[in-house]
Amino acid sequence: MDTRLLRTFLVLARTGSFTATAAELHVVQSTVTGHVQALERRLGTRLFDRLPGGARLTDAGRRVAGPARDLLDDQQRLLDAAGAGGAPAGEVTIGATESVCAYRLPPVIAALAARQPGVRVHLTPAGTAAALGALTGPDGRLDIALLLDDDLPGDLPARRIGREPIEVVGAAGHPATDGPRSWAQLAEQPWFLLEEGCSYTDRFVRELAAGAPAHPRITRFGSIEAVRSCVAAGLGLAVLPRVAVAAGLADGSLRRVAGVPRPDVPLSLLTDHRRRPSAAVAAVASAVESAAANW
């Protein structure tokens, strides 16, 4: 079995796009198509449905993904053993919340690339449920999950590597930033929050609903930038990681809403305990853990 076919298959399964897969693998799109077709012929089944919006795994494709990942893991362990004592090499896919992907990981990955050029890291923004499914599911699309959540399943071996401060903010001049407000007063304001499944915003919504008779007006977005833009325009208030609003707080365009303290959220690192991590995965996990101690 040509492992290049398996690698192309798994990247396409993760991206859902022939174009994105070609760009990631540094090949032309026809090569991706050829690899997929060759693997389908070899296995005697269709692995993807080709749809206008991209490629989607068939039932057979989902069954094949796990064993394909296992074969590539075995190949990497063989290479690691042959090169014991040498520099780690290989591909590592991290799933993490948007704020961690956007603000925390880029400098860590850049520094690691300078030290370990053979390690290639791919980032996938994902909430807790999606990341856990991609880490422990049959296709094992993730090698590492970084989760901002204080209520992870107890049967998963998670390492708490840091904490993320959370802020409640509004635009400078917004009346809610002039002094402490009661829950009832806060419930009268429009709120722009991240989508459901974000642990710290979901907790805030529960507390807001419990402490106020009025039904709060909440708009959910999947993007931190969309939330921040609405708040900066004076349209309402938001709950966001401090790292995402630090620049606005520093230049005065955003201000904290007093009297609504939020607890820091634990940042946890998880790997699939059923899979022995490659040297590349271990190097990335170590680099992230060391950096998180200073966040």
Residues 252 and 280 placed together within one structural domain of the fold: no
Residues 105 and 65 placed together within one structural domain of the fold: no
Residues 73 and 95 placed together within one structural domain of the fold: no
Residues 136 and 179 placed together within one structural domain of the fold: no
Residues 100 and 24 placed together within one structural domain of the fold: no
- Report how far apart, in Å, the C-alpha atoms of 99 and of each of 113, 157, 201, 241, 251 are: 21, 23, 13, 7, 20
- The reported pLDDT for the residue numbered 219 is 94
- Report how far apart, in Å, the C-alpha atoms of 184 and of each of 136, 188, 201 are: 42, 7, 18
Q: Which two tokens stand for residue 119?
A: 């390690």
- The reported pLDDT for the residue numbered 181 is 78
Residues 72 and 195 placed together within one structural domain of the fold: no
- Where is the domain boundary, 51, 82, 113? 82
- The reported pLDDT for the residue numbered 138 is 67
Q: In this structure, what CATH number is given to the domain that contains residue 3? A: 1.10.10.10
- The reported pLDDT for the residue numbered 139 is 64
Residues 128 and 271 placed together within one structural domain of the fold: yes
- The reported pLDDT for the residue numbered 54 is 86
Q: Provide the 3-class DSSP secondary structure of residue 12.
A: helix
What backbone phi and psi angles, to 5 degrees, belong to 18? Answer: -65, -40
Residues 240 and 115 placed together within one structural domain of the fold: no
- Report how far apart, in Å, the C-alpha atoms of 51 and of each of 57, 123, 194, 212 are: 11, 24, 29, 47
- The reported pLDDT for the residue numbered 92 is 92
Domain that holds residue 254: 166-263
Q: Which two tokens stand for residue 32?
A: 């991706």
- The reported pLDDT for the residue numbered 146 is 94
Residues 274 and 143 placed together within one structural domain of the fold: yes
Residues 71 and 9 placed together within one structural domain of the fold: yes
Residues 172 and 285 placed together within one structural domain of the fold: no
Q: What is the pLDDT along the chain (295 residues), one digit of tens a residue?
A: 788 899 899 889 988 899 999 988 888 999 999 999 999 999 999 999 998 888 999 999 989 988 888 888 888 777 777 665 567 888 899 999 889 999 999 999 999 999 999 899 999 888 888 888 888 876 678 899 999 988 777 677 789 999 999 999 999 989 888 887 788 888 888 999 998 888 888 889 888 888 777 678 899 998 999 999 999 999 999 999 999 999 999 999 999 998 787 889 999 999 988 777 888 899 999 999 999 988 8
Residue 84 CA, chain-centre distance (Å), reads: 31
Q: In this structure, what CATH number is given to the domain that contains residue 234? A: 3.40.190.10
Residues 69 and 194 placed together within one structural domain of the fold: no
- The reported pLDDT for the residue numbered 30 is 92
Give the count of domains, the chain.
3
How far is residue 168's CA from residue 172's CA, in Å, rounded to a whole number?
13
